[in-house]
């Protein structure tokens, strides 16, 4: 009898507890379940997106190798629109630009390069895009526009390349003294063992500054 009373008391306590906290407990359980389901869905979605981006990039590479400019444009567009925030977007821009240049369409090449400058994920892609766009503009004799593209704060390994490219633009624009200064800046920023040192020394030598070493 005592056992029955104790059991009934426990049941009453349980009912009282559930009445007071039952809704809260159910809410917590539902939230946890939804969070787990959402996390699983997000992981699956991310994996699916990565696979899709890799496939589109592979198609782009194949199109570039086949010199199929129309397919390059289509595949690059997919990567820009659907995966522009990933590294594939920046890589696609550089591949597409190269394909257009190889096809003799420098004007088309500027489009993905400008996209990369504005949208690419990671500074490296942006720097490479700026340098390549500056080269395209150099070939077009758009010297002031090329200098404007390079007019950004740069630190690290790309600083020397920016200075070197500025020197090329200034030299072709007839501003030899400024070009000489830019080449010297590039040389000063390069590592002692950089293969670019020899080329810049030759440029300075051609401008009558010292001797190539």
pLDDT > 80? residue 23 = no
Least confident of 12-16, 40-44, 80-84, 185-189: 40-44
- The per-residue pLDDT for 47 is 55
**pLDDT (average), residues 59-75:** 91
Percent of the chain with pLDDT over 90: 53
Q: How far is CA 196 from CA 2, 94, 193, in A?
A: 94, 22, 9
Half-sphere exposure of 196 (CA within 13 A, CB side): 18
What is the pLDDT at residue 40?
Answer: 47
The pLDDT of residue 41 is: 40
At residue 88, the pLDDT reads 87
Q: Does the pLDDT of residue 136 top 90, yes or no? A: yes
Residue 1 predicted with pLDDT over 80:
no
Residue 144 has pLDDT above 50, yes or no: yes
Q: 148: which 2 tokens?
A: 């404007």
How far are the Cα atoms of 22, 26, 105, 114, 163 from residue 33, in angstroms, in the given order?
A: 16, 10, 55, 45, 56
Lookup: tokens for 94 = 């550089």
72-88 tens-digit pLDDT: 999 989 888 888 788 88
pLDDT at res. 36:
45
Q: Which residues have C-beta within 8 Å of that of residue 186, sequence separation ≥ 6?
A: 160, 161, 163, 164, 167, 196, 200
According to DSSP, residue 135 is labeled H
Q: Which residues contact 15 (CB under 8 A, 6 or more apart)?
A: none
Model confidence, pTM: 0.74
CB atoms within 10 A of CB 166: 22
C-alpha R_g of the chain? 30
Check pLDDT > 80 for residue 103. yes
């Amino acid at each position: 009898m005592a056992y029955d009373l104790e059991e009934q008391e426990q049941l009453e306590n349980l009912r009282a507890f559930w009445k007071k906290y039952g809704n809260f407990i159910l809410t917590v359980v539902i939230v946890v379940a939804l969070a787990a389901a959402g996390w699983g869905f997000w992981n699956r979605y991310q994996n699916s997106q990565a696979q899709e981006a890799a496939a589109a990039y592979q198609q782009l590479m194949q199109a570039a190798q086949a010199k199929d400019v129309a397919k390059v444009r289509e595949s690059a567009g997919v990567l820009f629109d659907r995966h522009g925030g990933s590294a594939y977007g920046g890589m696609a821009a550089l591949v597409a630009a190269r394909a257009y240049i190889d096809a003799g369409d420098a004007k088309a090449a500027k489009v993905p390069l400008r996209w990369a400058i504005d949208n690419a994920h990671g500074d490296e892609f942006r720097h490479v895009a700026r340098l390549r766009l500056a080269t395209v503009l150099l070939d077009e004799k758009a010297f002031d526009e090329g200098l404007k593209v390079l007019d950004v704060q740069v630190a690290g390994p790309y600083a020397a390349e920016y200075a070197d490219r500025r020197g090329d633009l200034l030299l072709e624009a007839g501003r030899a003294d400024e070009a000489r200064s830019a080449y010297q800046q590039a040389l000063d920023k390069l590592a002692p063992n950089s293969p670019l040192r020899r080329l810049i020394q030759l440029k300075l030598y051609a401008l009558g500054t010292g001797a190539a070493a």
